């Protein structure tokens, strides 16, 4: 990205000017793209008029041949050139090769208008297909291409405009009304409202308070605000999303890969059949005329061209990816659209997936040794090293006086934290953590349903705090819609206490649940499920400890807002809004995409088989063949574009 400074007072003028230049360049590019086809069409029409009116006797012989050659070159030369390039690379049997043979063959038997028409309509079909693919790709990119170009950073006691890539972590950035947030950060202003539609697919403004996270690409809706950058631009949410979407279009589905492989086998077979259709009748037909059978073979080649099939299928997947992106669902590849349709079992984490992950301290119980304030200072010091939602709730607890500092803090997966605070060894976590360190814990805590953090100081049990979470607003709706989408079994696996896990599962009507699990336990449970016959598992999670399960599942789905970077990187699908109800929507989009792709395959093959038979039997002319081929392509394109216009609510 080119770095430059822009005077903010001139910014709107600059953008306006650039917009006009872009429009002018865009219009010029469109004209250049379509000009060859327009020229060939005009030449063809004039040629046909001159050809079929005997008044113009001069239009004969070499004049007629040269006229049609001139009409043919603008649309034919690029195709022949591409065919030749493929041949040099060792790839003989391409659609370019088929079209070149068919049209040159038509010229060789004197069917000049048909030769030009075949190539012209092929070129027009390619232009329409190219435009549709470009639009589909553009829709995906436009949904997420909200990359900010400028950041107003506070340096040397003044705000200067620089490229977001130059902003450092910890710097203060000012964002004015209507401007995009250039980097991920923490809100310094008391309150702010943002449009996050490009990131999450949600049109409802997101209102944040001081200290809450703000994501790059959000648009400031009211008042001048300040944020503190917490990530470099390359690590920001918008950069990550752009990267995911760009990679998604490169990762093909199995259907798409199969069709491309099929086309490579299908095309040479068609060429050999066309040769056979030209020569073999000589041995079986009494009144064999080479020109007539060559003409039939050329028709056979035109209609058999697989270009419409090869283009319309990826176009369908582009449409599906675009529809998902518009709804705040990011898929890392077209293959996962197919995989979503096969899922019949959904396994989900609890905290941050179906619950808000916003905990608050409910009870605080200490022994006689430490006061409540001292106890919390020890606990807060060690929990400052954790990003777990429960840790955040503990950190919100206010204590008087100067806090303590922790050193040598380590995380024990699935159990809790260990560290040194003011020379004392502190353990903070679940019962398993304390028991593994030979610390006795009262059995009365087993009756507590809420999440609990037990604390030991210098090898002795010191007390505990209980914290409570609440269900997400759409949690009940999510379970209902997931079932409606065809999922037969819904399971909850959680590292939280089994009692609270069972309580949440019962509230939501989940089929089976298990709590108190370590990451390896979750992994073992999912691997057991995958061994069951005809079981395809999707796992939904958000934490670092969910990453192994996300990786091993048939489909890994991560919550993109609250989720950890590791979970997001490991997952196949990312829910940007953190709404579990979007899972059912992702399944619906996947099924609709697959349906449209197979409709296009059936349409293309059905029409081609019919016209191939008519052409081989001499009942179809080259005009009918080319119109049938282009018509199939256009119908497939229109069918695929429907995905981008569907309402998924």
Active site residues: 349
- Pair type for strands 537-541 and 345-348: parallel
* CB environment 619-637: b (16+ within 10 A), e (fewer): ebbbebbbbbbbbbbbbbb
Cα gap 174→150, rounded to integer Å: 11
Contact status, residue 558 vs residue 181, Cβ threshold 8 Å: no
The tokens describing 266, both together, are 């299908």
Cα gap 490→481, rounded to integer Å: 12
Contact status, residue 492 vs residue 504, Cβ threshold 8 Å: yes
In this structure, what DSSP letter does residue 110 have?
A: T
Cα gap 245→518, rounded to integer Å: 32
Residue 319 phi, psi (nearest 5): -60, -40
Cα gap 649→647, rounded to integer Å: 6
Cα gap 495→517, rounded to integer Å: 4
Cα gap 386→389, rounded to integer Å: 9
Cα gap 482→480, rounded to integer Å: 6
Among 234, 139, 221, 141, residue whose Cα is nearest residue 181: 221
The tokens describing 537, both together, are 């598992």
Cα gap 271→452, rounded to integer Å: 72
Cα gap 373→144, rounded to integer Å: 47
**Residue tagged 């090869």 (tokens):** 310
Query: How many C-beta atoms lie closer than 10 Å to residue 367's C-beta?
Result: 12
What's the length of the chain?
Answer: 649
Q: Name the E strands within 147-306.
A: 151-155, 158-162, 172-175, 185-187, 191-195, 206-209, 213-214, 219-220, 225-229
Q: What is the DSSP code string of 26-46?
A: HHHHHHHHHHHHHHHHHHHHH
């Amino acid at each position: 990205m080119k770095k430059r400074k822009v005077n903010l007072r001139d910014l709107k003028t600059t953008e306006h000017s650039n917009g006009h230049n872009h429009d002018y360049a865009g219009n010029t590019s469109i004209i250049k793209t379509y000009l060859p086809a327009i020229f060939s069409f005009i030449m063809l029409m004039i040629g046909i008029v001159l050809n079929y009116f005997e008044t113009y006797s001069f239009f004969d012989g070499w004049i007629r041949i040269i006229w049609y050659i001139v009409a043919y070159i603008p649309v034919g030369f690029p195709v022949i050139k591409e065919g030749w390039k493929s041949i040099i690379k060792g790839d003989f049997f391409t659609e370019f090769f088929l079209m070149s043979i068919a049209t040159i063959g038509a010229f060789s038997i004197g069917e000049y208008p048909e030769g030009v028409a075949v190539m012209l309509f092929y070129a027009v079909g390619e232009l329409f297909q190219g435009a549709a693919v470009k639009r589909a790709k553009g829709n995906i990119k436009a949904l997420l291409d909200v990359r900010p170009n400028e950041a107003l950073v506070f340096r040397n006691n003044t705000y200067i405009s620089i490229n977001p890539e130059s902003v450092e972590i910890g710097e203060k950035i000012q964002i004015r009304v209507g401007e995009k947030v250039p980097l991920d950060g923490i809100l310094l202003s008391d309150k702010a409202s943002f449009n996050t539609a490009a990131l999450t697919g949600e049109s409802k403004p997101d209102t944040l308070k001081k200290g809450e996270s703000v994501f790059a690409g959000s648009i400031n809706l009211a008042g001048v605000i300040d944020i503190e950058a917490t990530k470099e631009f390359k690590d920001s949410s918008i950069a990550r999303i752009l990267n995911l979407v760009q990679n998604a279009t490169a990762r093909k589905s199995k259907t798409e890969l199969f069709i491309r492989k099929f086309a490579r086998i299908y095309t040479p077979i068609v060429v050999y059949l066309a040769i056979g259709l030209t020569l073999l009748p000589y041995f079986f037909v009494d009144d064999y005329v080479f020109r007539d059978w060559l003409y039939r073979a050329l028709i056979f080649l035109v209609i058999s061209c697989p270009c419409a099939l090869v283009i319309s299928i990826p176009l369908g997947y582009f449409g599906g990816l675009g529809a998902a992106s518009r709804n705040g669902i990011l898929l890392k590849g077209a293959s996962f659209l197919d995989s979503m349709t096969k899922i019949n079992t959904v396994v989900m984490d609890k905290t941050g997936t179906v619950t808000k992950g916003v905990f608050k301290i409910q009870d605080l119980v200490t022994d006689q040794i430490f006061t409540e304030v001292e106890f919390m200072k020890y606990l807060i010091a060690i929990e400052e090293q954790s990003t777990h939602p429960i840790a955040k709730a503990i950190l919100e607890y206010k204590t008087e006086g100067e806090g303590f500092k922790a050193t040598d803090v380590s995380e024990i997966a699935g159990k809790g934290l260990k560290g040194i605070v003011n020379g004392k060894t502190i353990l903070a976590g679940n019962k398993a953590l304390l028991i593994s360190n030979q610390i006795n814990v009262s059995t009365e805590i087993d009756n507590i349903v809420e999440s609990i953090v037990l604390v030991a100081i210098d090898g002795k049990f010191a007390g505990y705090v209980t914290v409570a979470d609440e269900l997400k607003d759409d949690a009940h709706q999510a379970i209902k819609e997931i079932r409606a989408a065809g999922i037969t079994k819904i399971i909850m696996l959680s590292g939280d206490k089994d009692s609270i896990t069972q309580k949440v599962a019962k509230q939501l009507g989940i089929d089976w649940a298990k709590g108190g699990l370590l990451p390896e336990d979750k992994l073992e449970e999912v691997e057991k499920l995958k061994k069951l016959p005809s079981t395809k598992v999707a796992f939904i999670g958000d934490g670092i400890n969910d990453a192994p399960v996300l990786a091993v599942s048939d489909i890994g789905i991560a919550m993109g807002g609250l989720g950890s970077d590791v979970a997001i990187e490991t997952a196949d699908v990312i829910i940007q809004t953190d709404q579990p109800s979007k899972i059912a929507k992702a399944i619906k989009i996947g099924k609709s995409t697959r349906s449209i792709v197979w409709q296009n395959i059936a349409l293309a093959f059905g029409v081609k088989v019919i016209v191939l038979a008519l052409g081989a039997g001499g009942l179809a002319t080259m005009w009918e063949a080319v119109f049938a081929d282009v018509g199939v392509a256009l119908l497939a394109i229109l069918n695929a574009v429907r995905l981008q216009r569907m309402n998924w609510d």
